[in-house]
Structure 1
Amino acid sequence: MKRLPPLPALHTFLVVARCCNFTRAAETLHITQGAVSRQIAGLESHLGYPLFHRQARGLSLTAQGRELFPRIEQVFGLIEDAVDHVGTRQQALQLKAPTCITRWLLPRLMTWQKERPDVPVELTTTIAHGVDFRRERFDAAVVYGAHPGDSMQVHRLLDEELTPVCAPALLNGPEPLTQITDLERHMLLHPTLDEQDWTQWLKAAGVQLGNVGKGQHFDTMDLAMTVASQGSGIAIGDWSLIGEDLRAGRLVTPFDERLKTGAGYYFVYPDRTQGTPGIQALLDWLRAQAGQR
Structure 2
Amino acid sequence: MPDLPPLASLRAFESAARHLSFRAAADELSVTQSAISHQVAELERRLGAKLFERHNRRVALTPAGEQYHPYLREAFDRIAQGTALVRAAGAPSRELDVQVYVTVAVRWLIPRLHSFTTAHPEVRVRFNTSHLDWEFDETAGDVAIVCTARPERPGLHATHLFDAQLTPVCSPSVLHGGIGMRQPADLVNHALLQLYTAADEWSVWLRAAGLPADVGQSGPRFDSYLLALEAAIDGQGVAIAPRFLAAADLRSGRLVAPFALQVPQPRRWYLVCRNDRRDDPRVTAFRNWLRTEIANDPDLPTPGFP
TM class by smaller structure: 0.5 to 0.7
Q: Is the 8 A contact 1:95 1:122 kept in 2?
A: yes
The code of the aligned residue for 1:186 comes to: H
Match of 1:53 in 2: none
Match of 2:283 in 1: 279
Residue deviations 1:194-252 (CA, integer Å, cap 9, x gap): 74221121012111376545222222222111211222211011113222222222222
Q: Is the 8 A contact 1:193 1:217 kept in 2?
A: no
Q: Is the 8 A contact 1:141 1:269 kept in 2?
A: yes
Q: Is the 8 A contact 2:96 2:124 kept in 1?
A: yes
Q: TM-score, normalised by structure 1?
A: 0.64
In the TM superposition, what is the alpha-carbon distance from 1:86 to its structure 2 partner?
8.8
The code of the aligned residue for 1:207 comes to: L
Q: Secondary structure at the match of 2:267?
A: strand
Match of 1:6 in 2: none
Match of 2:68 in 1: none
In the TM superposition, what is the alpha-carbon distance from 1:166 to its structure 2 partner?
1.0
Match of 1:153 in 2: 157
What is the root-mean-square deviation of aligned Cα atoms in Å?
2.9
Match of 2:234 in 1: 230
Q: Is the 8 A contact 1:181 1:209 kept in 2?
A: no
Residues 240-251 of structure 1: pairs in structure 2 closer than 5 A? 240-251=244-255
| 2:255 pairs with 1:254 | no
Q: Secondary structure at the match of 1:214?
A: strand
- How far apart in 2 are the matches of 1:256 and 1:117? 41
Q: Secondary structure at the match of 1:242?
A: helix
- How far apart in 1 are the matches of 2:119 and 2:226? 26
Q: Is the 8 A contact 1:161 1:261 kept in 2?
A: yes
The code of the aligned residue for 1:155 comes to: T
Instruction: Number of aligned residue pairs: give it.
Output: 214
The code of the aligned residue for 2:182 comes to: T
Change (3 A) 1:214 1:98: same
Residue deviations 1:63-111 (CA, integer Å, cap 9, x gap): xxxxxxxxxxxxxxxxxxxx5699445x321111133533222322355
In the TM superposition, what is the alpha-carbon distance from 1:255 to its structure 2 partner?
0.9
Match of 2:169 in 1: 165
- How far apart in 2 are the matches of 1:209 and 1:266? 28
Q: Is the 8 A contact 1:192 1:217 kept in 2?
A: yes
| 2:200 pairs with 1:196 | yes
Match of 1:95 in 2: 98
Change (3 A) 1:110 1:127: farther
Q: Is the 8 A contact 1:166 1:233 kept in 2?
A: yes
Q: Give the gaps of 5 or more residues in structure 1.
A: 1-31, 36-82
The code of the aligned residue for 1:129 comes to: W
The code of the aligned residue for 1:101 comes to: V
Q: Secondary structure at the match of 2:113?
A: helix
Q: Give the gaps of 5 or more residues in structure 2.
A: 5-86, 298-306
Q: Secondary structure at the match of 2:164?
A: strand
Q: Is the 8 A contact 1:159 1:240 kept in 2?
A: no
In the TM superposition, what is the alpha-carbon distance from 1:164 to its structure 2 partner?
0.5
Q: Is the 8 A contact 2:189 2:217 kept in 1?
A: no
Residues 1-293 of structure 1: pairs in structure 2 closer than 5 A? 32=1, 87-88=91-92, 91-102=94-105, 103-125=107-129, 126-133=131-138, 136-149=139-152, 151-192=155-196, 195-208=199-212, 212=216, 214-293=218-297
Q: Is the 8 A contact 2:201 2:265 kept in 1?
A: no
- How far apart in 2 are the matches of 1:148 and 1:115? 29
- How far apart in 2 are the matches of 1:107 and 1:131? 23
Q: Is the 8 A contact 2:201 2:266 kept in 1?
A: no
Change (3 A) 1:245 1:114: farther
- How far apart in 1 are the matches of 2:191 and 2:116? 37
Change (3 A) 1:195 1:139: closer
Q: Between the two proteins, what is the percent identity of the paired residues?
A: 31
